[in-house]
Every structure is written in C-alpha cells, then in structure tokens.
C-alpha cells in the first residue's frame, strides 16, 4: 500500500485553524493522487461519508466526523513558460502562500494581492479565494479533479468551475470533486491592482512610487498582519461570514439610514455590504462567551481563545446571525464549511 496512509479515530485539532478538538473516524493522508480511486474503493471508505481537507483554514467541525477525512498532501509544480506568461500546474497539497511567493520570485505577476492567505492550492478554487481586489479565478485556466460521481478524472475549465464571490461549482456540489491539481496562467506583467482600500496608502508609507508586484505583496502582508489575528496565536478561520450581497434598493436604503456603512457597488441590481460593519454596529465585536469569541481586532473573525468546542463556536456564530438579522434585516451566511452543524 503506497501513496496514502490511514489512521483510525484520528485527532483533527492540528488540522483545523480554529483549533477545535474534533476527531475523525478514519483519516487518510494522500501523497499520490493516482491512488485516490483505490482508497475510495475500500468498503470502510466507500460505505461512509468522505470529507476532503487541506489545511483546515476554512472549516468548522461542530462535532466529530463520522466518516473518512481525506487530507490532500500531494506535492509538485510543473511550469511551461514562454516569454510573456507561464502555464503552471500545481498539486493540490502545495501550500498556497509558498506558491504565491515562488511565483513572485520567478518574476510572474497576478497573485501579489493574494499573498498570506492560509491553506492549500487545491482549496483555492473551492471558494475562489479573494483579497484586496483580486480573485484567484482570474488566473485559473483549469482545475483537475477526481469526479466521485462519474468515477473518472475531470478537467474543468474556468467556465465549468462557475466561479463567483466566495463560490464555485465545487462549493455548490460538496463531495463531488476532489481537486488534485490547479493550472494557472500567469503573466510577466499586468496592470497592478492598487485600488482596494489601504494599498495605495501603505505603498506611500513604504516610500514606493513605482510599485512592482513584490511591493504590492509587501503592502498586503503589512495590511493583513495588522488587521487579521494570526491563527498560530489564536484559533480562527479568517472571515467567518461572507459580505452579504443584497438587492441594490435594500442596500441603498440601508446606506441612507447608516451613511457609515461600507457599500461596494456590484454589476447587476445588487450591492455588497460590509458584514464586519454590521456585526460591529450590532455590538458583537470583542464579545466572548467562554472560550468562543468575536475578535476585538476584526468583527468578521470568530476566534477560539483556548478550548472552545465546535458546538460552542457555532452557537456564538448563530447568536451573531440572529443579532444582525434583528438589527438590520440581513441574514449573514457563514463563509467556512460547517461540518456537523
Ligand atoms: P480547508 O479549510 O481544508 O477546506 C475548505 C473547503 O474546501 C472544505 O469544504 C474542503 O472540503 C474543501 N477542500 C479543500 N481541499 C480540497 C480539495 N483538494 N478538493 C476538494 N475540496 C477541497 N480566504 C479568502 O478567500 N481570502 C482571504 O483573504 C482569506 N484570509 C484568511 C485569513 C485567515 C487568518 C484564515 C485562517 C483564513 C483565511 N481565508 C481567506 C480562508 C482560507 O484560507 C481559504 O478558504 C483557503 O483556501 C482554505 O484552504 P484549506 O486548504 O485550509 O482548505
Ligand atoms: N470593518 C468594521 N469593523 C471591523 C472590521 C472592518 O466596521 O472590525 C469595516 C471597515 O469599514 C472596513 C470594511 O469593514 O473598511 C472592510 O474591512 P476589510 O478591508 O478588512 O475587508 P472585509 O470585507 O472585512 C474581505 C474579505 C477578506 C479579505 C479582505 C481584503 C470577505 C468575507 N472577506 O474582508 O477575506 O482578506 O476583504 O480584501 O469577503 C476571508 O475570506 O477569510 C478573508 C479574510
């Protein structure tokens, strides 16, 4: 048996950044994607539920997992470069932030705004990771996956991935695809994305007048390090709620009533409003119940001060959802995958 290892009743506490002490009935750590069909055919795996996990930076385990967790630990990067751009195929288990830094070191542009996002490359397309005015979808040519429904390797081009804000076909059909590799196309040069709040000011503070991609990356690192709590210090999963996308008329009415509400115009008859502002204004920022809390640095971040269980964290999240709904008539949706809730 090669390509993967199995362990029974395995702890997940070091496999989720909220540091929830859940366990899984079976853990399979996969180092060779070609062995997935063999692994999935085991009766113990085939007859139960399967959850694919990267670094666990966007999941909340509300209870123990009564099935098999498949942890993707595959490695490898293949590059085909010409003068202007590179096509790069990356194995699902590679660390996203290492990959971003490597691309910048090789002189490729595009991923600079997405530096310092935790997690694996294979998870990046699941919610179409985004930050500071860029979404990863822009640079994905295709995604290679094992299609558990059709029992074959599938290559989904960007259109088939149906990317949207924090969304994709992978999120909408959970359990169907196991992403094994992502193919990116990165240019040597692009018009840098400097318009998102804070980047321009940060570059000015750094004394940079003519930014290169690595300057933008450094500005984003500085901004993120100031704003977001570090999971190595305090358990969290980044933004716990999505910024709500609501009918434009509702967004404008809310903005008239609360002029300070950050509102980002969208195409179509909708507007995106700041969930952090709604949560802070409803009075939840810094709240702590036992070891479950809402960060006092950023109102969108649910934190584990120590030994909070998944159920305690989920109860606090539901309290926030109900409170924001009562105050503003908007129902927040969690961003991470809620497992067992
Ligand atoms: P996991 O948490 O392990 O999994 C997340 C989901 O993807 C699960 O549903 C899982 O089943 C599925 N999945 C994972 N790997 C695969 C695979 N190979 N095949 C199929 N399904 C898979 N996100 C942003 O978009 N922007 C940010 O700015 C951002 N900042 C963050 C900051 C912090 C401090 C933290 C803790 C998180 C942040 N996140 C952000 C969320 C998170 O980093 C991303 O969603 C990341 O892509 C998750 O990667 P992961 O490997 O940890 O996935
Ligand atoms: N704000 C508050 N209170 C707070 C924090 C923020 O009112 O405690 C307001 C501020 O007015 C601020 C606005 O919210 O201007 C926006 O805040 P920020 O720039 O931090 O962005 P965000 O909307 O909170 C989103 C993403 C992040 C991403 C940043 C930067 C979502 C759900 N979150 O956060 O992604 O890094 O923009 O682009 O879209 C993640 O998905 O895990 C994540 C961290």
Q: Do the two domains 4-72 and 77-187 of this chain adopt the same fold? A: no
CATH among 1.40.20.10, 3.90.76.10, 3.30.465.10, 3.40.50.10490 for 77-187: 3.30.465.10
- Pocket residue to mutate for ligand 2, from 123, 164, 225, 276, most atoms within 8 A of Cβ: 276
Give the per-residue pLDDT at 1.
55
Considering every ligand atom shown, identify the ligand nearest to the alpha carbon of residue 236 and give its number.
1
For 290-334, what is each residue's pLDDT tens digit? 999 999 999 999 999 999 999 999 999 999 999 999 999 999 999
Any atom of ligand 2 within 6 Å of the Cβ of 300: yes
* Catalytic residue from among 19, 183, 335, 337: 335
Give the per-residue pLDDT at 81.
83
Any atom of ligand 1 within 6 Å of the Cβ of 119: yes
Domain ranges of the chain: 4-72, 77-187, 235-339
For 88-119, what is each residue's pLDDT tens digit? 999 999 999 999 999 999 999 999 999 999 99
Give the per-residue pLDDT at 196.
86
Alpha-carbon distance of 77 to 91, in angstroms, equals: 6
CATH assignment, 235-339 = 3.90.78.10
CATH among 3.10.180.10, 3.30.43.10, 3.40.50.300, 3.30.365.10 for 4-72: 3.30.43.10
Question: What percentage of the chain carries pLDDT values higher than 90?
Answer: 96
The residue ranges of the chain whose pLDDT is under 50 are: none
Give the per-residue pLDDT at 212.
97
* Residue keyed to tokens 């969290």: 236
């Amino acid at each position: 048996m090669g390509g993967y290892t199995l362990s029974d009743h395995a702890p997940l506490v070091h496999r989720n950044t909220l540091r929830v002490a859940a366990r899984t009935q079976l853990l399979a750590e996969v180092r060779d994607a070609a062995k997935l069909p063999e692994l999935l055919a085991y009766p113990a795996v085939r007859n139960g539920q399967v959850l694919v996990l990267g670094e666990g930076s966007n999941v909340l385990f509300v209870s123990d997992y009564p099935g098999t967790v498949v942890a993707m630990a595959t490695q490898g990067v293949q590059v085909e470069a010409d003068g202007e751009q590179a096509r790069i195929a990356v194995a699902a288990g590679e660390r996203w932030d290492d990959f971003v830094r490597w691309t910048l070191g090789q002189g490729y542009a595009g991923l600079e705004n997405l530096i310092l996002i935790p997690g694996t490359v294979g998870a990046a397309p699941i919610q179409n990771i985004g930050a500071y005015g860029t979404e990863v979808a822009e640079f994905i040519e295709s995604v290679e996956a094992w299609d558990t429904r059709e029992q074959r390797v599938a290559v989904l081009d960007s259109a088939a991935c149906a990317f949207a804000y924090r969304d994709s076909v992978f999120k909408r059909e959970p359990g169907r695809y196991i992403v094994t590799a992502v193919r990116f196309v990165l240019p040597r040069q692009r018009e840098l994305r400097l318009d998102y709040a804070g980047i321009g000011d940060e570059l000015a503070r750094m004394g940079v007048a003519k930014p290169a991609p690595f300057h933008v990356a450094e500005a984003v690192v500085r901004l993120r390090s100031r704003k977001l709590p570090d999971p190595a210090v305090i358990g969290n999963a980044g933004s716990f709620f999505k910024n709500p996308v609501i009918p434009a008329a509702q967004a404008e009415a809310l903005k008239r009533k609360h002029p300070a509400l950050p509102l980002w115009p969208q195409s179509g008859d909708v507007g995106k409003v700041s969930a952090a502002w709604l949560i802070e204004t409803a009075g939840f920022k810094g709240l702590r119940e036992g070891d479950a809390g809402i960060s006092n640095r950023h109102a969108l971040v649910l934190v584990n001060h120590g030994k909070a269980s998944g159920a305690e964290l989920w109860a606090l999240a539901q309290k926030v959802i109900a409170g924001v709904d009562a105050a503003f008539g908007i129902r927040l949706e969690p961003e991470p995958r809620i497992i067992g809730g």
